[in-house]
Structure 1
Amino acid sequence: MSEELSEVTEVGPAATEEAVQVRRVGPGGSMASDNAFAVALLTLWHRVSEAGGAVGFVPPVDRSDVGPAVAVVIDGLRSGRASAFALTSKRNVIGFAMITPGVRTQAHIGAITSVMVDPAHQGKGLGVSLMEAIVGLAAELGLEQVSIGARGGVGLEKFYAAMGFVEVGRLPGWIRVGPGDDRDEILMVKQVGARVR
């Protein structure tokens, strides 16, 4: 792991109370994946879900429904199977993204999941900073490609395409957000390292 990615990086207006930091979570990072972080992630995930964010839930959602998803993330971080970055402002977690490298015959690829930014902080370029950090980590880990899934109908594919991701397929009607409202799961990939042949 390079020194650069293990350090805290500031984005947004520097030296103000609005300054946002991009921090590596888990072993080797500047933030522990402890119980306090788990509660902060639960709060973020619930806020994003309640605002209609494409993070696995449809509002209204109870905090207790989000808890099991957070537990899986925390387990992955603590075990070292996954790595993540968080956006923090003051003492609050306002963004998150995780990468899980493949294993065995897929050890050269990784999956980016759980990408979210607090609704009150969207539109400030923080999602771009978060994605740049997680894709940079993928390259540092020696991964050649990363994948991400995007819920159709909310414009996420345009955001990821602007970051260099290419659509490689769709799972039609894979996500049901309400009665009669099925959305495609859009599968996207990005080359992050040299292919070894």
Structure 2
Amino acid sequence: MTDKSIKALESETNNNMKALASNTSNAIKTLELNTNDSVDTLEKKQNLMSTSFGVKTQKLEGILNSSMTGLQQQITNSNKRVSMTACVNSHGTHQLSSYKVVKFDNIKVQYGVNNLNRFKSDGKFIAEMEGMYIVSAWIMSSSVNAEFGIYHNGILISNTYISSDGGHYNTATGVTAIDLQTNDTVWIGTIHSMQIYSFDRSCFTIVKVK
């Protein structure tokens, strides 16, 4: 092999080594860039997951706190006493025409009822607390075909007939259970025109039982 051939081989070898070194360097840089991008992407995903998890955790805590507050309020409400008994205050008898509200304006006993003045004024009980209530009324009358009903928000729930021959006083009692929501109204109303006897012979009772 001549000197010229040896030099050509050396030159080619050097060029190949330089090309290999350059390619290796470029490959390393590309790998580093890809690795950095992957790390950045992974960190972003981790941050997003952490943020999302934190938000979901806060929402869950909010829901749990709200549920616990609501449950505690329900327990508190269920333990509160609400009851009232009131009677017709006017002495003797008084006449009411059909579909009139009976006013029981003589409050005998009450627990947990605040709007007594309105009840005494218009005869309508307004629920200040939701729950299951027992509603009852007993009325004495001597009118023929005397009949009264228990109304819930203007809807007749039950009606009670008082048997009478028109010459003697008789008493009848109506009782029902009503699931009341806050601000619901309950009252006793006449079905037919009738006389109502007072002296604590005609009364209304409502009791929250749950």
Output the TM-score relative to the length of structure 2: 0.27
TM-score, with normalisation over the residues of structure 1?
0.28
Identify the structure with bigger relative contact order (alpha carbons < 8 Å, sequence gap 6+). 2
1 or 2, which has the higher helix percentage? 2
Larger Rg: 2
